[in-house]
Chain A
């Protein structure tokens, strides 16, 4: 009997592995929430963010540890949260005034910090290493996302002071974009990002809807130029960064394309859907009930950076790309991919649930704000896409 003991152990381990590994996802699968109102997941994520913004000590601690790695995250944690609060305001009219009060607090503090410390406060240090092509220096990263905060807040409920601010940002963005051969504006010196440019377009589109202006000709021209200059030939995906004349700097990236496809829906639904389908094929991956996003397609490689986050070798799981894949999957109603992304999140992002709040330890405030946005997005885009003036 002893002679076969090792063989029996090996067979038992092999069988146990083949039973357990394909079943692990069942432990972490969560049912998605209802389409209207707020899901339990959204409520728990929102509770954690509202706690942060209501407790100055907690907020300072969280922002300081993010700023230690990347000042951009401090800014994007604010913008994603405001976009989420606006969506929540439409989903839960009874709570609208509470959500808008926090959104206004964030918008006003962000604009004040930008005014007091200048654009570099929310940028990475290399922004100071060279001169911006367009002078005086401005970053579309800030202008576009602040404009989108002002715009979505006004979609929920008009605030006259924000109308003036939004109009001013839209004019500055359009002026700079029109001066470039590729109709793009800089976020960093001679470095333009698809993410920022498309969010700027979304803000312009919402401003048109709110204020009765018409920049549809510019939006069409932008799309035609992007199709001609900014597509990656191997994948047909928009590249993530380029110079002011449209020379590609980086190829397509998961940390850009998922959010970009979502924002493009306000400009050209069909093109946006095509970009999403391509991103799913080139970057979306699934295995045994789990799903994730690669940062780069197989035909274009780059090194890990602050946008990609940690990339796990072999499977090519990108933390940044996978977080933003939630936004794409939610926006395009890809329930299967979204469910599997959620399973991966519960399995590998180390959630901590306490007193009705949830935070993902493997993430940070900006990552959790992206997840919240993915959970609640929808009503704002629907309202903007509906016919007629606001």
Chain B
């Protein structure tokens, strides 16, 4: 199948299956976290102790912002390093596969 006939979703999926694609995803997770952090949402994680971030603010809003911040934080601490490591490993796997492919082609008469 020609790549140009694929949907944007297919192209996005395939881009993720390369070392560069994995690194881009890791960077996106980091950017998402940076936005949450710079927005000051870290203090909303106080909902974990059952305490609102401020005496007058809405408890529900605080919970939502706290959960979003936690998603970003655990994304950057757990997911992004895995994606970055996997990118490195995939790069190595592909180089090995390329060399094997080259040797295989050279061996053919």
Interface residues of A (CB under 8 A from B): 1, 4-6, 8-9, 11-13, 15-17, 19-21, 24, 27, 61, 64-70, 73, 306, 309-310, 319, 347, 350, 352, 361-364, 367
Contacts and interface: CB of A to CB of B under 8 A. Distances in A.
A38 B47 CA distance: 30
B81 A20 contact: yes
Contact of B54 (A19, A24, A65): A65
Interface in B35-58: 42-55
A295 to B, nearest CB: 13
Contacts of B42: 350, 352, 361
Nearest to A347: B77
A4 B17 contact: no
B90 A319 contact: no
A363 B89 contact: no
A17 B82 contact: yes
A68 B55 contact: yes
A20 B51 contact: no
A192 to B, nearest CB: 23
B33 to A, nearest CB: 12
Q: Quick one: which of A8, A61, A66 has the most chain B CB within 10 A?
A: A8
B82 to A, nearest CB: 5
B89 A309 contact: no
B89 A68 contact: no
B24 interface: no
Contacts of B98: 1
B50 A70 contact: yes
B93 A20 contact: no
A5 B17 contact: yes
A364 B51 contact: yes
B97 interface: yes
Nearest to A320: B49
Given A70-B50, A362-B49, A12 B93 contact: yes
* Residue in B49, B73, B85, B94 with the greatest tally of chain A CB atoms within 10 Å: B49
Interface of B: 16-17, 22, 42-55, 73, 77-78, 81-87, 89-90, 93-94, 97-98, 101
B94 A362 contact: no
B17 A364 contact: no
A352 B46 CA distance: 12
24 contacts: A1-B94, A8-B94, A9-B16, A11-B93, A12-B86, A12-B87, A12-B90, A12-B93, A13-B83, A15-B85, A16-B85, A16-B86, A17-B82, A24-B78, A61-B54, A64-B55, A65-B51, A70-B50, A309-B49, A319-B48, A350-B45, A361-B44, A362-B46, A367-B49
Nearest to B57: A65
A24 B45 CA distance: 21
Nearest to A307: B50
Given A21-B78, A24-B77, A64-B55, A8 B48 contact: no
A347 B46 CA distance: 15
Given A4-B97, A20-B85, A65-B54, A9 B17 contact: yes
Contacts of A65: 51-55
Q: Which 6 A-B pairs have the closest CB atoms?
A: A16-B85, A64-B55, A16-B86, A12-B89, A12-B86, A12-B90
A314 B73 CA distance: 20
B11 to A, nearest CB: 14
A68 B52 CA distance: 8
Given A27-B77, A61-B55, A68-B55, 15 more contacts: A1-B98, A9-B16, A9-B86, A12-B22, A12-B87, A12-B93, A16-B84, A16-B85, A19-B85, A20-B78, A20-B85, A24-B77, A309-B48, A362-B49, A367-B49
Contact of A310 (B43, B49, B78, B89): B49
A8 B91 CA distance: 10
Contact of B82 (A13, A347, A361, A364): A13
B77 to A, nearest CB: 7
A310 B50 contact: yes
Contacts of B77: 24, 27, 347
